[in-house]
Amino acid sequence: MLSVIHVTNGHALKIHRSSRTHFPAGVATMALHHLLLTPPHPFSFSPPLLPLLTPFSSSTHRSISLLTTTNPRPKLYSTALRPTHALLQTLDSGSVPSESALGDFSQWLRKNGAVGSSPPPVKPSFVPEGLGLVAQRDLPRNEVVVEVPKKLWIDADTVAASAIGRVCGGLKPWVAISLFLLREKAMGDASPWRPYLDILPRQTDSTIFWSEEELLEIQGTQLLSTTIGVKEYVKSEFDQVEDAIIVRYKDLFPSTITFLDFLWAFGILRSRAFPRLRGENLALIPLADLINHSDAITSGDPSWEIKGKGLFSRELIFSLRTPVPVKSGEQVYIQFDLSKSNAELALDYGFIESRSDRQAYTLTLEISESDPFYGDKLDIAESNGLGETAYFDIVLGGSLPPQMLPYLRLVALGGTDAFLLESIFRNSVWGHLELPVSRANEETICRVVRYACKSALSSYRTTIQEDEELINGGNLDRRLRIAVGVRAGEKKVLNQIEDIFRERELELDGLEYYQERRLKDLGLTGEQGEIIFWESR
């Protein structure tokens, strides 16, 4: 899968395109295993998938055909019920429940004590983003808007206490909760969760739900590789659980559960679980999960907490606050996650932002196993918190991650510079790598990175200019807007990286390298860098 660029000193520097959201066959399982098990981390979605130097591969196309949902998007609105908000009219109505379903849900919440004070500060309502929470009076900053008792959460405890609890014991929480949701859904009226399940969208605009045609709009992007990787991961989890649980305990699962059902459940959990309620703590919190995201909320502080209530604080409740004052009739919003890139927002939630620091590209660098200095380089990388593969997220307008240049220099190290790999330098080598090592080494990294960027840029179907014309023209379908925004953002970051290394290449003659620094330290160079000779009589 990896593209290998041969460098002059006889060993190979592997560099390939990747994304924080890429999943190669080999590491997909591991990386994705953490997907819902760990809190979001910039690198939790990082493994490489598509080689940087090859165009969109045919195997990728096969993966898309295999995994793309072909579900027609159902229309749930009658014309009469269609909301009048301008944006809502352009929303795919398949993602919005009926008014009667919303009424039943509100009643269910009241019955189960989930609305808090009376009258409730917010009301679940139709909003441009589907459903949302609308203020019923002026709300000051930090006012609690929703309190949901634990008995209404859907988490591992809910599954354990249910009829399928005894067969879900060893499953990952997200897999167990997915099976629970699908079984309860199939039970219809017999399920106490029906009012909640009925208001969940059939799909979001997450790229995991895009058609093959829609995915073509992100051809060449890291987002596409990630999306395919995620779907492959969900498929592999489904295949396992299908044999081990669904078929084996047929009596517990009276209706067929398909991969697309399972993917729906995955998408629901991914888009609705609050960031710290993932992994082992994964939970769906009905009502609170109707809160939408706004980029106008710039504080990263979580707007919620779990606290004890009732006699001796025994009952746990999920409490959601408004991070800013909200006027009556306006929607309450929170900030979902400041650290997510547009690709992550698109994958998890199905929207993106225009802020430049959401536009990112992940370079994946690797120490080749065929490198004659593989062992030494790996040892040095590991001593500095990196590994055989390292992922570097580069943000539009931001500088290169501090460890990227030393790692690049390490990977490219060889020839007459290889002495730095000897064990006597082990404690100081990283310090040396933080500065240019030699002209040959610095030239190699510039050449390789520039080549990698150009190759990546050549795999997109459109130019930045074409994308910008589309964006400025307006009237784009929501998914196309996401596609165009993400592909334009990736290309801008790639151009930025290319520019950095082009400029550096022009400065190669003016840089100070290891040998000059060393001579200087020993007092063997003059003011102008000339070498001082001693003549013996």
Q: Which residues sit in the known binding site for substrate?
A: 272, 276, 289, 304, 349
CA distances 530 to 437, 440, 516, 523, 527, Å, are 19, 20, 9, 11, 7
153 is a site residue for ligand SAM (CB under 6 A):
no
Q: Please give the Cα distance from 507 to 82 (Å, whole number).
A: 61
- Minimum distance from residue 76 beta carbon to ligand SAM (Å): 12
In the complex with ligand SAM, the residue whose CB is nearer, 132 or 406, is 132
Q: Please give the Cα distance from 58 to 64 (Å, whole number).
A: 10
- Would residue 23 be called left, alpha or beta, if left means φ above 0 and alpha means ψ between -120 and 50 degrees? beta
Residue 72 preceded by cis peptide, ω within 30: no
In the complex with ligand SAM, the residue whose CB is nearer, 132 or 220, is 132
290 is a site residue for ligand SAM (CB under 6 A):
yes
List 123, 293, 426, 481, residue binding ligand SAM (CB under 6 A): 293
CA distances 208 to 16, 197, 236, 436, Å, are 24, 20, 15, 43
132 is a site residue for ligand SAM (CB under 6 A):
yes
272 is a site residue for ligand SAM (CB under 6 A):
yes
The string of DSSP codes covering 217-255 is TTTTSHHHHHHHHHHHHHHHHHHHHIIIIIITTGGG--S
Amino acid at 162: S
In the complex with ligand SAM, the residue whose CB is nearer, 47 or 323, is 323
List 22, 120, 129, 449, residue binding ligand SAM (CB under 6 A): 129
Stretch that binds ligand SAM, among 84-92, 129-137, 207-215, 497-505 (CB under 6 A): 129-137
The string of DSSP codes covering 332-384 is EEE---TT--HHHHHHHTS-----GGG-EEEEEEE--TTSTTHHHHHHHHHHT
Q: x/- string (CB under 6 A) for ligand SAM, residues 454-493?
A: ----------------------------------------
SS3 400: coil
SS3 165: helix
In the complex with ligand SAM, the residue whose CB is nearer, 323 or 406, is 323
Stretch that binds ligand SAM, among 346-354, 371-379, 408-416, 527-535 (CB under 6 A): 346-354
Number of residues that bind ligand SAM (CB under 6 A): 16
CA torsion sign for 40, 300, 357, 483 is positive
In the complex with ligand SAM, the residue whose CB is nearer, 284 or 404, is 284
292 is a site residue for ligand SAM (CB under 6 A):
yes
Stretch that binds ligand SAM, among 70-78, 345-353, 407-415, 520-528 (CB under 6 A): 345-353
Relative to beta strand 4-6, strand 304-309 is: unpaired
- Minimum distance from residue 385 beta carbon to ligand SAM (Å): 34
Stretch that binds ligand SAM, among 158-166, 284-292, 301-309, 447-455 (CB under 6 A): 284-292
Q: Please give the Cα distance from 151 to 476 (Å, whole number).
A: 42
What b/e string do you get for 414-437 counting C-beta neighbours within 10 Å, with b at 16 or more? beebeebbeeeeeeebbebbeebb
Q: x/- string (CB under 6 A) for ligand SAM, residues 195-224?
A: ------x--x--------------------
Give me 188's structure tokens.
């219809």
- Ranked by CB distance to ligand SAM, the top (closest) residue is 130
In the complex with ligand SAM, the residue whose CB is nearer, 344 or 442, is 344
Stretch that binds ligand SAM, among 124-132, 210-218, 484-492, 500-508 (CB under 6 A): 124-132
SS3 480: helix
Binding residues: 129-131, 272, 276, 289, 292-293, 304, 349
Binding residues for S-adenosyl-L-methionine: 129-131, 272, 292-293
Q: Please give the Cα distance from 449 to 15 (Å, whole number).
A: 8
Q: Which residues make up the interface to ligand SAM (CB under 6 A)?
A: 129-132, 201, 204, 271-272, 289-290, 292-294, 349-351
